[in-house]
Amino acid sequence: MKVEIRFGEPRDVALITQLIRELARYEKLEHEVAATEEKVAKALFGKRPYAETLIAEVNGEPAGFALFFHNFSTFLAQPGIYLEDLFVKPEQRSHGVGRALLERLAQIAVQRDCGRLEWAVLDWNEDAIRFYERLGAKPNAEWTVYRLADESLRALAGK
């Protein structure tokens, strides 16, 4: 079985949206998904793309995806890559698809002179945590992620 990794293209909008929903279902967060094909198309392929995707295919069929964007480390004075989503379809897990996606992301990070590749993982997702640690990733336990969204975000913005 050969895993092929390619960049997402506008023709993949429906697939990317479907994979986002499958990921949300897996994470038990489907009720939070507001993504539509129109929003995904605008965010990824519009006038100002905010993120990029990699699509994994096995035998020409979609097997998973990674959605990522650049951030910046002031301490390193270098860009980084933040992996927002990594999802492999359940029937394709344990066949090297996740590793192939992360290898390609690492290659992109090195090619783009990024100082790091980072992501968050849900505490309960022990399979993913073991997978990431086998790759050499380390948890950043000294940091707590904060988020402003919905009403709190609008209130702070004065809207």
Residues that are catalytic: 132
DSSP the chain: --EEEEE--GGGHHHHHHHHHHHHHHTT-GGG----HHHHHHHHHSSS---EEEEEEETTEEEEEEEEEEEEETTTTEEEEEEEEEEE-GGGTTTTHHHHHHHHHHHHHHHTT-S-EEE---TT-HHHHHHHHHTT----TT-------HHHHHHHTT-
